Structure 1
Amino acid sequence: MLDDSIAILDELIAFPTVSADSNLGMVAHLAQRLSDAGARIELSHDDGGTKANLFASLGPEADGGVVLSGHTDVVPVGGQPWTGDPFAMAARDGRLYGRGTCDMKGFIAAAVALLPQLDGDRLRRPLHFAFTYDEEVGCLGARQLVEHLRARGLRPAAAIIGEPTGMRVVEGHKGCHEYTTLFTGREGHGSVPERGVNAVEMAVRYVHRLLALRDELIASAPEGSRFAPPWTTVNVGRMAGGTAHNVIAGEAAVDWEMRPVRAEDARHVRDALEAYCAQVLLPAMRAVAPEARIETRVIGEVAGLEPADDNLARRLVSELTGQDGAELVPFSTEAGLFQSLGTHCVVCGPGEIAQAHKPDEFVEIAQLARCCRMLEGLAVNLT
């Protein structure tokens, strides 16, 4: 199975599925392999029709079963000092190099390489393959896929999200919510500030409130939290606005994010900022400029994976890998979206997150082999 995984990974790396571009070629390739193995194929496209999720199933048409989940998109390579073609896999020194080898086409390749060992008629429980688009820019494909499954009333019992964890079992991670807040005021001459509405000043006041909320979150960290740091974090990544020293700024923008340890923290921050804008900032702005406005755009809201005492997926993967215990990680995945279905989830896959998104990204062949052994054990478990 390992040799097949390496050969399939070589094929997948050749598809340059950067998030800004289409993934349809890779999806068609995977769909053909899965269809040839007898899987039932479902495709769901984005609004533009240039990207698609692939959901395929083997075994009985029933609720429950296990999902093997991976995203097809990769981050850009522009400006990175690669020593070779990032979309032509290279093997050397026990490693496989190429964009996506680690994050996360290695896992997808191993999942597809399992197909010759699977007989859908002999599976006691369904085995699903969920390969999504646009994970790297907000888990857009997985959000669509999960809503599709919810509408169908299909709830898999367990999901293995094959992000690179060094094949360690991960049972939890924070969410990642990213926003851009836009301020529109009224321009004017800097010598008469009372005649305009300075959007930059309003953005500063907004950030001040956001940082006050950050302090509240630090003070209210959940007792016994295993996350590092244990509280919901807030970060202001960028501020921009204005045109010149002597011009009242008519527009401004703030890019910010939060990484919640629990869903109620995210709701508290959003509600508090909405109230601050509605009750404080906008009345002050519109007293001078009725056309003034504040708009917050959601760039991405990726749900966290909340650790659970009862987790079928954790038990299953721990048995398959021979590991005791499970970890938490700081990076986010699609797992929280599947968890929202009521599916038990873990994150476990080949490669180290430290190699992801970097030039000369690689996965160790030994780790890919461990992934193959885990999936071979899963096939036996389902039969």
Structure 2
Amino acid sequence: MTASAQAGQRFTPLEMLARLVAFDTISDKSNLPLIDFVEGYLTSWGVPSVRFPNAAGDKAALFATVGPQDRGGIVLSGHTDVVPVAGQAWSRDPFTLHVENGRAYGRGAVDMKAFLALGLALVPDFLAAGLRTPIHLFLSYDEEVTCLGVIDGIAAMGKTLPRPRAVIVGEPTSLDICDAHKGVRTFQTIVKGFAAHSSKPELGASAVHAGALLAAELDHMAEDAKQRLDASGRFDPPYDTVHIGSFQGGIARNILADHAEILWEIRTLPTSDPEAGPARFAALSEKVQERMRKTAPSASVSTEMTSDVPGLAPEPGSEAERLAMRLSGRNHTIAVAYATEAGHFQQAGLPTVVCGPGSIDQAHQPDEYITLEQLEAGETFMRKLMTECQAG
């Protein structure tokens, strides 16, 4: 079907952004209404797409190809989920795009529905351009919680999907080109003790006491990591970090706690061994468990990794980097402190960079916004990509 024969509705990037922001896709909710809308929009323009649902069936990623279907092209990847608004002092409805003073306000406006809106709004132009190199649109889910929403789609690339030449993950970088970020692993440690009166500690085992030893070890790990500085000087801070976000346990002062929970994370440089920290913590956990079982044989310490987001390592001169430089007009790369889905693409052997409109400084904030100037710059970026893909 030719572009002239299609009856699909056209949207400006701002109009498409308003449609996407209107979907409440906070990570603990389904993103299927948004996916249904995008799938229907693409179908109306004759663009095929493939869904990758999660195990529960309440969320899905979507992969679409604009242009030739028999070869790999350039992936524009972005997540559909957003962070919560509860407890934030919004001055307007976060799910209604509001334009004022050169800014477009709304949850997800910059992180990162603007990038998706640009790619989707330009689909009719991509079609009319007669692309020789396809442009792939990849919409994921759960980036804000696990970064696992891209996994099934990536696994299909080179199998049931074409293997892309390059990937651009459109997180907000003000269109600077990010070629490096830390990886992050998050953990939940559960300590099961045995309750007893605090005057007779030998009759039980305190999960809080054990948890305190484990928490102290995490603090020691954090301090030790500061001695291993990144040689490139590109990261802030220039070392791995270890953080405890929550430590809970016990019900009363005079009862040995039978339960404690620690939620913690490790953020590692691309050059660090992501296994080293967890292995050190596991070794101490075993010793703490042995100590507890001297008075409470049923005591235990268990740790589950709840998310694993690989870092992004520099690949100087990669196809993704060279392409992004031409499109953005930049001649240098940056490293960022936050994690993205880009590491998953890189682990699959796909040249990948992070580059998108808007500033990360506005992400996750009340009255989140993207400037219209950045939205326009993003459209220029996309149109340059279209020209590149016309040439093949």
Whether 1:80 and 2:83 are equivalent positions in the alignment is: no
Alignment map for 1:59-78 (pairs within 5 Å): 59-62=67-70, 64-78=72-86
Whether 1:140 and 2:175 are equivalent positions in the alignment is: no
Change (3 A) 1:352 1:121: closer
Offset from partner CA, 1:41-78 (integer Å, 9 cap, x none): 11011122111101111233445421101111111112
Partner of 1:218: 226
Offset from partner CA, 1:60-113 (integer Å, 9 cap, x none): 344542110111111111222222211111111111111111111111000001
Amino acid at match of 2:50: E
Aligned CA-pair RMSD:
1.9
Q: TM-score, normalised by structure 1?
A: 0.94
Partner of 2:7: none
Distance 2:293 2:156 in 1: 42
Partner of 2:172: 164
Distance apart, 1:154 and its partner CA: 4.7
Between 2-11 and 311-320, report the one with greater CA deviation: 2-11
Alignment map for 1:75-154 (pairs within 5 Å): 75-119=83-127, 122-149=130-157, 152=160, 154=162
Alignment map for 1:233-272 (pairs within 5 Å): 233-262=241-270, 264-272=272-280
Tell me the SS of whatever aligns to 2:149.
helix
Distance apart, 1:199 and its partner CA: 0.8
Whether 1:350 and 2:361 are equivalent positions in the alignment is: no
Q: TM-score, normalised by structure 2?
A: 0.92
Change (3 A) 1:257 1:318: same
Distance 1:285 1:120 in 2: 69
- The answer to whether the 8 A contact 2:226-2:239 is kept is yes
Between 218-227 and 308-317, report the one with greater CA deviation: 218-227
Partner of 2:329: 322
Tell me the SS of whatever aligns to 1:281.
helix
- The answer to whether the 8 A contact 1:60-1:120 is kept is no
Distance 1:354 1:166 in 2: 10
Change (3 A) 1:149 1:291: farther
Offset from partner CA, 1:241-296 (integer Å, 9 cap, x none): 11111111111111111111036432101112222223x12222223222211121
Tell me the SS of whatever aligns to 2:274.
helix
Distance 1:82 1:19 in 2: 19
Change (3 A) 1:291 1:177: same
Amino acid at match of 1:336: G
Tell me the SS of whatever aligns to 1:349.
coil
Change (3 A) 1:181 1:148: farther
Partner of 1:196: 204
Distance 1:216 1:312 in 2: 37
Distance apart, 1:126 and its partner CA: 2.7
Partner of 2:48: 40
Amino acid at match of 2:358: G
Tell me the SS of whatever aligns to 1:189.
coil
- The answer to whether the 8 A contact 2:312-2:342 is kept is yes
Amino acid at match of 2:205: V
- The answer to whether the 8 A contact 1:180-1:299 is kept is yes
- The answer to whether the 8 A contact 2:270-2:312 is kept is no
Partner of 2:216: 208
Between 17-26 and 135-144, report the one with greater CA deviation: 135-144
Partner of 1:313: 320
Change (3 A) 1:96 1:121: closer
Partner of 1:155: 163
Q: Which runs of 5+ in 1 are unaligned?
A: none
Distance 2:213 2:157 in 1: 42
- The answer to whether the 8 A contact 1:197-1:249 is kept is yes
Distance 2:182 2:272 in 1: 13
Distance 1:154 1:234 in 2: 39
Amino acid at match of 1:250: D
Offset from partner CA, 1:162-207 (integer Å, 9 cap, x none): 1111122111111122112110011101111112111111111112
- Give the share of equivalent positions with the same residue, in percent: 37
Amino acid at match of 1:308: E
Between 81-90 and 118-127, report the one with greater CA deviation: 118-127
- 351, 359, 369: which one pairs with 2:376? 369
Q: What count of residue pairs does the alignment treat as equivalent? A: 381
